Structure 1
Amino acid sequence: MSMTSRADIPNIPDSDGYEPIPGNDAGSPSLGFRTRLSFTWVGLAMLLCWNVFLASSYSNVYDDPIADAPRVKTYITSTFTAVNLFTILSLNYLPVKASYYNRVFVPLSILTIVFGLLFAALKLAGSMMRNTYFTAVIVTASLIAGVCTGFIQNGVFAGLAMELPEAGAYLMIGQGIAGVLPAVAEMVFLFLSSHGTLDSTSMYFGFACLTSLFGVLAFINIGRTFPFIRQSVSAPGLSDAQTRTKAALVQLPYSAFAIVCTFAVTLSLFPAFTSSIAPASGSALTGGYFTALGFLIWNSGDVLGRTITLRVVDILSHETLAIASVMRILFLPLFVSCNVRGKGAIFPSDMYFFMVMFLFGGTNGLVSTASIVKSGQTVAADLKEATGSLVSMLVCLGLLCGSLCSFAITALFST
């Protein structure tokens, strides 16, 4: 992909946007605090919609959340991942002029509007927004969110992160926060709703709307600090993109398989199937708290797995990662031994379920991140850009395969 070089961009502001690194004669910029915070918030907003849809217990919109929430989450994940993959493929291969600023700003604005409309609909027409009607609305919202997220991912990683490498670290921090924040917010709103007339689901989407709005404002600050990101650049043609992608894939057969398999296994079970697991008999946790806490624990394990990757990645081979990705299938019987749909458990303990969730999240973070890091270390320098696009597509492919498999697994254990 042809990108404008920072050396060719005049008048980059010497303000809070960046600070020269002492001793660096080339004047390479180090991002200032406000800009680091802005990139972190954009990373949060980029994955917020995905986590918001999945972390909610939907306790106020379904007559039987334990039975209905897992089903609607399979619809959401399948719709979101399918349109997200299609969007990323289209943006990578279509030979168009790319305005990476607009590919982030416009979708972030649309997501803010979508969350605002969901909040308004639940507040003004709460009696109608239930069961089947709510399912249709939320799946439509996930379709729009999948397209928007694809544009944001392309604009952020193909545009911003290439021109400002340091920004990538703060974007990843924001993505980690996006996994934890919705679960914490869900538990807070469930607590408030249990002590008054507050509708936890509507307030949950109101919170998501405000968070996305701050993401828009953060990106506006980035655009003002670095005006060069507003420039349009030429994207590669289909033939050149396919050639580079195939060359990268040939060098990464095991890592490519590990990435797809890891995310496929994860989404086959989490969150659709795991949402069907009820608290153990006599538990102090209600269904809504139990679901949100499980989501929080899974994401905490995922963050820990990502964090320790750099300490162990050098001792993990591509083949080992591929085998580990397949071995994660063994988590299925561990979850089945829990209280699925309240029908009894082999190990009747909430702590057992939370421990399995933590390990499931930890192995997801470790294996997926290690596979991605090893991919970047293995390929030739001239294929690193193509490898970045390939990894994005492999992640989306794994998520799509997993979301489709979740239908079968949820149906298999629904009786």
Structure 2
Amino acid sequence: MLKGWWDRSIGGARRSSYDPVPTDRAADYEPFAEGSELLEDQSDGLAHGTSYFSWIDYWIILWMGVYMLWAWNMFLAAGVYFQQRFSSNDWTESNFQSSILTVYCLTNFAGSYLLARLQDRDAYSRRIYLSLILNLAVFTLLSFSTVLFTDVSAVTYFVFVMLMCFSTGTATALVQNGLFSYIGGFHQPRYIQGIMTGHSVAGVLPCIVQIISVLTLHAGDGDGDDADGAPQLGQSPQSAFTFFITATVVSAIALVLFHHLHRKAEALSLRKEIEIEIEDAAGADLTEKVPLKVLFHKLKWLSLAVALDFAITMFLPIYTNVIQSVHSHDDNNNNNNNLPPYLRQAAFVPLALLFWNGGDLLGRVFPVYPRLNIGDRPFTLFLASVARVLFIPIYISCNIRNRGAWISSDIFYLVIVQFLFGLSNGYIAGSTMMAANDWVEPHEREAAGGFMSMMLVAGLTAGSVFTFFVVV
């Protein structure tokens, strides 16, 4: 009975056609029932059928979702460190954040667009492997750059960071297109939700690592504060090295886990069985490419919703890196010497990102419950994305560069602004990505996964370009 409740609650019932979703959300696979062969097999991942489920596979896929966005969130959370490295040059210090966003997103979008057009099912796993190897190299170079090249000029280090952004943007495009398409072939909505949840975990963990690094530095060296009382990460190569090498470990674990998943899928021919059954049901040639305009026609409001959602989210790092604790303003005459370490800028920025990513994580979990999922109302999701633009003036009202806030409260900033902004992002992102498969034919689902990831990146790219026009 508990298993039946779980499958009804955690997104088990989804429809299989692209017509408007009926209110009862007819299942495209049978829920696991007591004594069924499917239930008996799922514990070891050997279930057969058009929609098997394995918790082992789910956690592997969730970790792949963590890996997918770890690089992105690592660059955001390392904003204070990069600011210290670029401080000797006014232009790089003022524009490094927008430059990182633009280079990363333009590269990611270009790669996602090209890969979405190719739709080569046999290449999906190879793209994932290539992404993992490329990011392993990038994260290793970034790690050692904090120890071996600390005396290079700001301009030289800026060029190096841009090259790393280009490389990891390429790697992200490969894994986004490859993983969404690869997992789409398993015909299991919960696996898609696992990827989206992994994205949020990737946002939470780097912030925690950054906060611990800063607080540990402060506790270990009481004289290492700057004029603002913030620990100087640039003077602690060990702290920055630990932060970046963590990304290398995440990639290495992802490589091992995906290799296990892929070998098991090949050995059991699970994906082949799924493809054959879907082909028989749909009566379509699975090798036929699906034009992007066809996918856009079927997924118009969902794709526009996810694109706009992430375009507005791109304003997050621009404001978060310059908003300070309101207590900094109150204690300004004392050079912030009386502030607790977690309220000083080096820790306050990742703390704010932690609240945002916590909301984002919760928002991505909500859609797995049918009563909270509005994937059958794409236009409503689009309107919700439009409404998120109201967060921008709220950010402007906060304590930007210690100029004072309209509402003098860190709780307001962290909970009402950051947490809710993240919650809305996660909910819209999770709802749109999970619902995409419901609005296309079964043989179009892999292509739909690549198309939706491309639209997500398109939103990130558009938002990153707009950030150049933001004056803070």
Q: For the superposition of Structure 1 and Structure 2, which TM-score range results when normalised by the shorter chain? A: 0.7 to 0.9
Indicate yes or no: 2:307 matched with 1:249: no
Output the amino acid matched with 1:319. Answer: F
CA deviation string 1:343-366 (max 9, x = no partner): 222223222211201111111112
What is the correspondence of 1:7-22 to structure 2 with a 5 Å cutoff?
18-20=44-46
Indicate yes or no: 2:430 matched with 1:369: yes
Deviates more, 1:46-55 or 1:191-200: 191-200
Counterpart pick for 1:337 among 373, 397, 404: 397
* TM-aligned CA distance change 1:321 to 1:67, over 3 Å: farther
* TM-aligned CA distance change 1:370 to 1:99, over 3 Å: closer
1:70–1:273: 8 Å Cα contact kept in structure 2?
no
Query: How many angstroms apart in 1 are the aligned matches of 2:59 and 2:306?
Result: 29
Deviates more, 1:111-120 or 1:164-173: 164-173
Name the residue aligned to 2:413: 353
Name the residue aligned to 1:322: 382
1:256–1:394: 8 Å Cα contact kept in structure 2?
yes
* TM-aligned CA distance change 1:256 to 1:340, over 3 Å: same
Name the residue aligned to 2:176: 153
Output the amino acid matched with 2:465. Answer: L
Name the residue aligned to 1:407: 468
Indicate yes or no: 2:236 matched with 1:210: no
Shift of 1:274: 2.2
Shift of 1:87: 1.0
* TM-aligned CA distance change 1:207 to 1:122, over 3 Å: same
Shift of 1:65: 12
* TM-aligned CA distance change 1:38 to 1:66, over 3 Å: farther
Name the residue aligned to 1:312: 372
Query: How many angstroms apart in 2 are the aligned matches of 1:367 and 1:291?
Result: 24
Query: How many angstroms apart in 2 are the aligned matches of 1:143 and 1:259?
Result: 23
Name the residue aligned to 1:273: 319
What is the correspondence of 1:20-59 to structure 2 with a 5 Å cutoff?
20=46, 29-31=52-54, 33=56, 35-59=57-81
What is the correspondence of 1:228-267 to structure 2 with a 5 Å cutoff?
240-242=289-291, 245-267=292-314
2:374–2:381: 8 Å Cα contact kept in structure 1?
no
* TM-aligned CA distance change 1:288 to 1:236, over 3 Å: farther
Indicate yes or no: 2:459 matched with 1:398: yes
2:66–2:199: 8 Å Cα contact kept in structure 1?
yes
Query: How many angstroms apart in 1 are the aligned matches of 2:155 and 2:59?
Result: 40
CA deviation string 1:170-223 (max 9, x = no partner): 433322211111111111111222224743322211221122122222223223
Helix, strand or coil at the partner of 1:272: helix
What is the aligned-residue identity percentage? Answer: 25
What is the correspondence of 1:162-201 to structure 2 with a 5 Å cutoff?
162-163=185-186, 165=188, 167-194=191-218, 195-196=220-221, 198-199=236-237, 200-201=239-240
2:309–2:429: 8 Å Cα contact kept in structure 1?
yes
Shift of 1:301: 0.8
2:214–2:347: 8 Å Cα contact kept in structure 1?
yes
1:108–1:216: 8 Å Cα contact kept in structure 2?
yes
Counterpart pick for 2:346 among 273, 276, 288: 288
Deviates more, 1:37-46 or 1:184-193: 37-46
2:352–2:418: 8 Å Cα contact kept in structure 1?
yes
Output the amino acid matched with 1:345. Answer: A
Query: How many angstroms apart in 1 are the aligned matches of 2:88 and 2:166?
Result: 24
Deviates more, 1:343-352 or 1:160-169: 160-169
Name the residue aligned to 2:4: none
Query: How many angstroms apart in 1 are the aligned matches of 2:157 and 2:93?
Result: 11
Query: How many angstroms apart in 2 are the aligned matches of 1:325 and 1:66?
Result: 35
Whichever of the two has the greater Rg, that structure is 2
Output the amino acid matched with 2:178. Answer: G
1:273–1:406: 8 Å Cα contact kept in structure 2?
no
* TM-aligned CA distance change 1:210 to 1:252, over 3 Å: closer
Output the amino acid matched with 2:72. Answer: W
Shift of 1:96: 5.8
TM-score, normalised relative to structure 2? 0.73
Aligned residues: 388
* TM-aligned CA distance change 1:334 to 1:29, over 3 Å: closer
Output the amino acid matched with 1:78. Answer: T
* TM-aligned CA distance change 1:339 to 1:218, over 3 Å: same
Query: How many angstroms apart in 2 are the aligned matches of 1:139 and 1:85?
Result: 16
Name the residue aligned to 2:143: 119
Output the amino acid matched with 2:211. Answer: M
TM-score, normalised relative to structure 1? 0.82
Query: How many angstroms apart in 2 are the aligned matches of 1:40 and 1:31?
Result: 12
2:290–2:447: 8 Å Cα contact kept in structure 1?
yes
Query: How many angstroms apart in 2 are the aligned matches of 1:371 and 1:40?
Result: 18
* TM-aligned CA distance change 1:388 to 1:28, over 3 Å: closer
Shift of 1:53: 0.7
1:70–1:271: 8 Å Cα contact kept in structure 2?
no
Once superposed, what is the RMSD of the aligned Cα atoms?
3.3
Helix, strand or coil at the partner of 1:341: coil
Name the residue aligned to 2:359: 301
* TM-aligned CA distance change 1:313 to 1:168, over 3 Å: closer
2:358–2:419: 8 Å Cα contact kept in structure 1?
yes
CA deviation string 1:140-168 (max 9, x = no partner): 10110011111112222212441473644
Helix, strand or coil at the partner of 1:270: helix
* TM-aligned CA distance change 1:174 to 1:163, over 3 Å: same
Query: How many angstroms apart in 1 are the aligned matches of 2:114 and 2:171?
Result: 13
CA deviation string 1:248-289 (max 9, x = no partner): 32234333322221111111x111232121222235311111
Query: How many angstroms apart in 2 are the aligned matches of 1:123 and 1:112?
Result: 18
Output the amino acid matched with 1:52. Answer: M
